[in-house]
Structure 1
């Protein structure tokens, strides 16, 4: 199935932001390729990967795309900005590129600046929920393999550190998140924090956690834990299974 105009704009905008400093860094490349694999038919993926290697060609492609409906522009730009947040905060160059993309979409720069600040704060919050759940998965897996309450082993710590490197967290927050390996939150603590979040943000958090579960090498443990978490939150389990995919 061919991409919709919105999907094409999402991929193009994300690619342009990733190339803002002239280099497609590791975390950015992972996110870009993840977006491509989610949205692009297999037969078109090579063409998109080639586009991501050439900023000038990508700008030319963007200028030829039909503008999506105005109400969809914020979501396109939000997903593009998420690429800039792989290192915890976007750069001035990435913000400038996002502004130029916003102009192509008919979005005022001042309004976009406000959105960008809100998206950055939200991404940091969501990343903390994902990190907490990932730590819970590691503890649950370790408890099943060994005697309960034993420390996470070196492989588990390396796996968690690699995840944190891909999340939009600044270095101080990453360092604090590492402490979760020694004392993970409980289901009640994480569920309570999610219930206090605004409904839309809570929904995004559950989607991000579900994405983590689907991509994990320990999906069975993750699914069980996700269903237990959502049950504590009072979420209908059929709805929870739909989110899990």
Structure 2
């Protein structure tokens, strides 16, 4: 069905909740920058630590407590060489950091997937020039039409879907992030939405609005029980909201 959208020129501000958690496995643990985490790692098999959308560039810990090796995609392979607890400090190329209290135990190796709570913002002068080359409403319309048709706006780049802005609209449907496209002033998230209830749920664009949202496009305005659809949300990346 043809998607509809509305544009709201509002301030952009995202509230990122604190996250100090025990890291248990590959499902993913959201963390604030410089968070203090806990994890049990095998000291008889290699373990893998992945920070979504990031390259781990610095690893610090007690001398002789572990072996380490980076993978080609920037993850960390690590094997504790001790049975004693120790603290590991990780830092990425983009300045994202975390400390992990490691408890070594014999057993199978684990994959720890860490998801930074903050959405990455990188300079993109080419996208900035395109976004500012026309009236703002025209930019929003162009971005909306392009992403709904499966395209990528001019000079936008792909980002990890798990690294989108904090988003909790009052729509009452389950949202699963599937794609992120990042420009300069704007970023676009595509979510798969599912009605997990037993009754038909009518949907309106305004149910998906919250502070920082510039436009919403729905693939359908009715979701039957167990029905699925898509919603594209255009967020502002500007701290003060103006483009």
TM-score range, shorter chain: under 0.3
Task: Tell me the TM-score normalised to structure 1 length.
Answer: 0.26
- In terms of Rg, which structure is larger? 2
Q: Which has the higher helix share?
A: 1
Task: Tell me the TM-score normalised to structure 2 length.
Answer: 0.26
Q: Which has the higher strand share?
A: 2
| Bigger relative contact order (CA 8 A; separation at least 6) | 2
